[in-house]
Structure 1
């Protein structure tokens, strides 16, 4: 799949919990995203200090902060800071994280390569702990860069070259 995210503006400022950002997969159409937790606090060192983000199926054509966010577009992701430093995410403000967002039924699909005592595949919650059901919103377990965000957004929007 080709890369489609269009840079908005670079930033070296680390995202904080509640930060609302824009991502532009289609020229002039911005999807809202939100930092749900600035650190995922996973038991896995590789991803524990990186933000958990939601991308919403809510768009804008300008840089206005919405009154509220709802309707998740893609499964939540744990990402690094490269989407901000490369300009693919642009923070426009901060809205406190709601209880609904904190309690979203989400998780990550994992395979026995990280846990040899379990069947393939199984699911983990956002802290890396095994859960015994398939969450409503789920994606592969691990750290997702801007390329992974591009893949997930383009897949759900049907953008393919």
Structure 2
């Protein structure tokens, strides 16, 4: 039995960079895509120092190259996510391109919910109320990501 629904593609030791576009392969051999928004974030701007802020898009393709017009913040599959480099080093994320980020590529307001119930923006500053899509001020794992992508796309979760 597979450890995840997301398939291993190509491990990479190269550090992800802002604007990198990456592919994840699903159990049906289709791909979904993500984008690196911020890299190596300091402790005051992320739940863990060295975190990456990524978007995962609601764009499924049989090709490993995305339709770039589908990689927009209004087409997110999940709220913004903080993650570490493990998905790249294990090969769950394969970088398939890079495009400089523009304002149109970003949400107008990032929102993250802390375990305390308060909300923060991508700079770690408090915000008074949630702004959707609102993610978690927590470091997510590739297993967490696998479960949530599976839920959104209708694949049964892999048991722990």
Same fold (TM over 0.5): yes
Gaps of 5+ in 2: none
Please tell me whether the aligned partners of residues 25 and 153 of structure 1 are also in contact (alpha carbons under 8 angstroms): no
Aligned to 1:102: 106
Q: Greater share of strand residues, 1 or 2?
A: 1
**Is the contact between residue 107 and residue 138 of structure 1 (CA under 8 Å) also seen in structure 2?**
yes
Give the alignment's TM-score, normalised by structure 2. 0.84
Task: Indicate the SS of the match to 2:26.
Answer: strand
* Number of the residue aligned with 1:116: none
Q: CA RMSD in A?
A: 2.0
Partners of 1:42 and 1:126 within 8 A in 2? no
Please state how far the C-alpha of 1:91 moved relative to its aligned partner: 0.2
CA distance in 2, matches of 1:149, 1:81: 13
- State the Cα distance separating 1:145 from its structure 2 match: 1.6
Gaps of 5+ in 1: 113-120
Q: How many residues align?
A: 152
Length-normalised TM-score, structure 1: 0.84
Worse overlay, 96-105 or 39-48: 39-48
Distance 1:3 1:63 in 2: 19
Name 1:151's counterpart in structure 2: 147
